[in-house]
Structure 1
Amino acid sequence: MSKVFLSAKLPAATTKILTDHGLTVSVYAGEGLISHAELLKSVVDVDYLITPLSTQVDAAVIDAAPKLKLIANFGAGFNNIDAAYAKTKGIQVTNTPAVSTNSVAEVTVGLMLALSHRIVEGDAQMRTSGFPGWAPLYFLGSEIAGKTLGIVGFGNIGREVARKARALAVNVQYWQPHRLTDPEERSLGVQYVEFADLVQTSDFISINAPQKPDNHHQFSAAVFKEMKATAFLINVGRGPIVDEAALLTALQQGVIGGAALDVYEHEPQVTAGLEKLNNVILTPHIGNATVEARAAMGTIVANNVVLLEQGHNAKFIVNA
């Protein structure tokens, strides 16, 4: 009987799919994230590994699992896995694209609203110094209608962010290495601009791009200096796209207006000092943390195991 190891607890329905198909399932039950040493011990005799993007699956882990056929990543990204090395061992690596699109887009727009209306800052004040009373110039924020949102990374999530933002009367421009066709741009009501122009003209910049070698620290001290002094940066893509030390300095010096981060350069650690700033919102990587999205992700990873077990091809292979 084939064995499946889950390196983190997943929705119950995910495990049920596996056990209903006769697979033996074991789950890491420790506190916090699984350690590299524990993972090495846990994969020795498994046929399938299901792992969240917080677990690093490197060459050592792959070498420790001679029976391994599939690494099913519970997440759209897969930079936590040495997919190229897995391929040399005949191991397929899959991800869970698209199903978290709506959830991440909702969080992105939610962070735009929270920043512009100072919602988190206001909540903190109510819990500490309190509300001194309504006054015409008290605790002013700004509306997002009529503002310009620049989206960096215009895949499924970026496009859904654009749709939702346009419904709130926000002007949307985007940049990515490959421009959409004119009919696609017109259907979404968006405008393509070069990266430098997006940085200089956007009131909000949303990072919705995957992590790649060429976008490490794409948002640097030099880029922050080119942004509007009132602009807000939102990162729901990948942490290392932003130089967090440079971001901290820019925020402390008033170079930009504020930031909201759902992902972090050294995740799960947060650059010290960011948590002290009242123009910063920090959330614990909750972009796709909804019952609906996680259930759909679980169905994909479980079904991919079942497909391989039954002699079929898995879906969403990233190292074919």
Structure 2
Amino acid sequence: MKIVADENMPYVDELFGQLGQVTKVDGRHLTAQQLVDVDVLLVRSVTQVNQALLESANKLTFVGTATIGLDHLDERYLQHRQLAYTNAPGCNATAVGEYAFIAMLELAQRTESSLKGKRVGIVGAGNTGTAVARCLQAYGVETLLCDPLLAQSGDSRQFVSLETLIERCDVISLHVPITKTGEHPTWYLFDEKRLNQLKPDTWLLNCCRGEVIDNQALIQVKQHRSDLRLVLDVWEGEPQPMPELVPLVDIATPHIAGYSVEGKAKGTYMLYCALLKQLGQAPTTELHQLLPALWVEQLQLAGIPNEKALLTLLRFVYDLRDDDRLFRERFLNNNGFDLMRKNHKHRREFSALRVANSGGSDVDWMLKLGFSGVSR
């Protein structure tokens, strides 16, 4: 079996090497010729899987994308070719949720305010949006959800309209797929009109797709709305964000909100399990066997006295400021955006750290936040 995989997918050799010959490629510049006589194709969101790419894929039987989205796959064509394909829904949800939560705490410190005193609106309540809500609710922050498709599907949670969310929320975090058609398209969901409707001092976070916000309109609005705070992990026109937008953003990163060690490993592992199922085989490797130990095994806490202390603890696991600094230094470099993504291998999730309670304080809420091993 011949397997072609994006070079930035981790643990491909450890998992798929058991099944056949693995060739790693630059997913953004993959060509049709590279897929001749290939049985399995493993990609990320930077690869457009369509008829042009697959025209010479004479032996292809399986396409897997280690992402939650499918917008880069021509599903109609794959179905026409009767090719099995799958994504990895939820693989990076925890990572995105923790990224957004940390970013909000960073903004709170910079603005000398408290996240706990704000109302947060989450647009898109699927896997990633739910993960954000889980972190916020564990910390005691009020949240509102907006997801008309889930509301129509009978989801039992309470939802509000986008207009209500914009009117009532101090913080808005975006977690929707990119769609251009249907009753609720998300392309330029936040256009100039909606951006101008944001409350004074609103924090706006985008961790889904760059084109959910009209970036040119965002530049225009931000130039006369200095009160708005922005966290952008995704950008219109990736991998070449608008240079004039970056200085206007409070926290800027190169589409790595979901790039935890755990999240990326989970994405690859889900594709491994899906291919094995198609082959009628059972997994011989477990996910936990792949993950390295954190450099420290356990911390003992006497409690979390305030929000600053919480942020200090979270920085111990992942310091978002490092990626923000590197982005500003390197995004204009040749291939800088993609190189930062390729080399982003250090970030861990809260679950990698075991926290022990040595002071008798009630820190059980940290279990809900995602930390491991909290004890009384």
What range describes the TM-score normalised by the shorter chain of this pair? 0.7 to 0.9
The match for 2:21 among 12, 19, 24 is 24
Within the candidate set 264, 267, 278, 1:294 is matched to 264
The structural deviation recorded for 1:243 is 0.4
Supply the distance in 2 between the matched residues of 1:184 and 1:160 (Cα, whole angstroms): 17
Partner Cα distance (1:94, 1:260) in 2: 30
- 1:184: how far off? 4.1
- Give the percent of matched residue pairs that are identical in Structure 1 and Structure 2: 28
CA contact 1:43–1:65 (8 Å) conserved in 2: yes
Does the 8 Å CA contact 1:146/1:169 hold for their aligned counterparts?
A: no
The Cα of 1:10 is off from its aligned counterpart by: 2.4
The answer to whether the aligner puts 1:91 opposite 2:83 as a matched pair is yes
SS of alignment partner, residue 241 of structure 2:
coil
- 2:104 paired residue number: 112
What is the distance in 1 between the residues matched to 2:159 and 2:226? 25
Are the counterparts in 2 of residues 229 and 257 from structure 1 also a CA contact under 8 Å? yes
Query: Secondary structure at 2:115's aligned position in 1?
Result: coil
Q: What is the CA–CA distance in structure 1 between the aligned matches of 2:126 and 2:96, rounded to whole Å? A: 12
Change in CA separation of 1:180 and 1:147 when aligned onto 2, cut-off 3 Å: farther
Tell me, in whole angstroms, the C-alpha distance in 1 between the residues paired with 2:46 and 2:139.
34
What amino acid does structure 2 have at the position aligned with 1:211? I
Q: Which residue of 1 aligns with 2:357?
A: none
Secondary structure, counterpart of 1:215 in structure 2:
coil
- After superposing on structure 2, the runs of 4+ consecutive aligned residues of structure 1 that deviate more than 6 Å are 180-183
Conservation of the 8 A alpha-carbon contact between 1:236 and 1:287? yes
1:177-211 deviation line (CA, Å, top 9, x unaligned): 132899943xxxxx522111111221010001111
Cα separation, 1, equivalents of 2:13 and 2:277: 15
Alpha-carbon spacing, 1:211–1:232, altered in 2? closer, same or farther (3 Å) = same
Distance 1:259 1:253 in 2: 14
> Is residue 53 from structure 1 mapped to residue 45 from structure 2 by the alignment?
yes
**Structure 2 portions without partners, runs of 5+:** 283-376
**Mapping 1:122-133, distance limit 5 Å:** none
Distance 1:194 1:256, change over 3 A: farther
Give the whole-Å Cα distance in 2 for the aligned partners of 1:78 and 1:248: 29
The residue number in structure 2 matching 1:284 is 254
Distance 2:40 2:153 in 1: 40
Does the CA-based 8 Å contact 1:62-1:86 persist in structure 2? no
Aligned residues: 277
Bigger Cα displacement from structure 2, 253-262 vs 237-246: 253-262
Which residue is 1:78 aligned to? 70
TM-score normalized with structure 2 length = 0.69
Distance in 1 of aligned mates of 2:272 and 2:191: 39
Query: 2:165 corresponds to which letter in structure 1?
Result: L
Query: Kindly tell me: are residues 223 and 34 of structure 1, through their superposed partners in 2, closer, same or farther at Cα, counting changes over 3 Å?
Result: closer
- Determine if the alignment matches structure 1 residue 262 to structure 2 residue 233: yes
Q: What is the alpha-carbon distance in structure 1 between the residues aligned to residue 56 and residue 226 of structure 2? A: 48
Q: Give the letter aligned to residue 272 of structure 2.
A: A
Q: Which has the higher contact order (CA 8 A, sep 6+)?
A: 1
**Residue matched to 1:151:** 122
Secondary structure of the residue aligned to 1:20 is: coil
Whether the aligned pair in 1 keeps the contact of 2:28 and 2:46 (CA below 8 Å) is: no
- How far residue 217 of structure 1 moved from its aligned partner, in angstroms, is 0.2
Task: Output the CA distance in 2 between the equivalents of 1:183 and 1:8.
Answer: 38
Q: Aligned AA for 2:94?
A: N
Q: Secondary structure at the match of 1:75?
A: coil
* Distance 1:297-1:183 versus aligned 2 partners, 3 A rule: closer
Deviation sequence 1:38-58 (CA, Å, 0-9, x none): 421211110110011111112
Distance of 2:137 and 2:3 partners within structure 1: 44
Q: 2:60 matched to which residue of 1?
A: 68
Of 186, 194, 200, the residue aligned with 1:229 is 200
The separation in 1 between residues aligned to 2:227 and 2:60, in whole angstroms, is 48
